Amino acid sequence: MKHLLITLTIAALGLAATPAMAQSAAPAQNDALYQALGAKPGLEALMEVFVAGLKADKRIGEQFKDTKSSYLQEQLVDQFCVVSGGPCKYQGADMKSAHAGMEINKAQFNALVEVLQFAMDARGIPFATQNQLLARLAPMHRDVITAK
C-alpha cells in the first residue's frame, strides 16, 4: 500500500509541475535532504542497491542490460546529489535527451519508481525522506515517458 501511495503521489506531483520544472528536476535550495540521505556515501550505497535492482527486475531489466553498472551508479549519484541539494555537479545528459527514442511507457516508469522505493526501504531511508526525494524527482516523468 505504501508503494502505491508513493507512486500516486509522484504521478500527481508530476502532473502539477510547472513547465520549467518539467525539463529537469530543480536543485534544492538547501542540503537538508542530501544530508538526510546520508550525503554522498549514503547516495552511493543507495545507488548500488538501486542499480542492482534495476538490472534484476524482470519488467525493466532489459532496458539496462547493456549499461555498465558502475557508470550508471556514478551518474545517478551525481544527479540525485544535485536534486537533493548536495554539492555535486551532474554532467550527464538531460532526461529528455537521455531517454529519447527509448519508448518508455508509464508501466516501465512506475516499475523503476518501485525499484527505487525498494532500494530506499532496504537502505532504511525513512518514509518522509523518501517522499521528499520522490517529489523532487517527479517532474522528470514528462521527459522520461515517451510511449503511450
- Is 17 contained in some domain? no
Phi, psi of 58 (to 5 degrees): -65, -25
Phi, psi of 125 (to 5 degrees): -75, 125
- Is 45 contained in some domain? yes
Whole-prediction pTM: 0.79
- Is 111 contained in some domain? yes
Q: Could you tell me if 58 and 110 are in contact, meaning their C-beta atoms sit under 8 angstroms apart?
A: no
Q: How far apart are CA 141 and CA 110, in angstroms?
A: 10
In the chain, the N- to C-terminal Cα span, in Å, equals: 25
- Is 106 contained in some domain? yes
Residue numbers of the domain that contains 89: 2-10+31-144
**Tens of pLDDT, residue by residue, the chain (148 residues):** 444 444 444 443 443 333 333 334 544 468 999 999 999 999 999 999 999 999 999 999 998 889 999 999 999 999 999 999 999 988 878 777 877 777 788 999 999 999 999 999 999 999 999 999 999 998 888 888 888 7
- Is 76 contained in some domain? yes
- Is 122 contained in some domain? yes
Q: Structural domain tally of the chain?
A: 1
Return the CATH number at 104: 1.10.490.10
- Is 26 contained in some domain? no
b vs e for 93-122, b when ≥16 Cβ sit within 10 Å of the residue's Cβ? eebeeebeeeebeeebbbbbbbbbbebbee
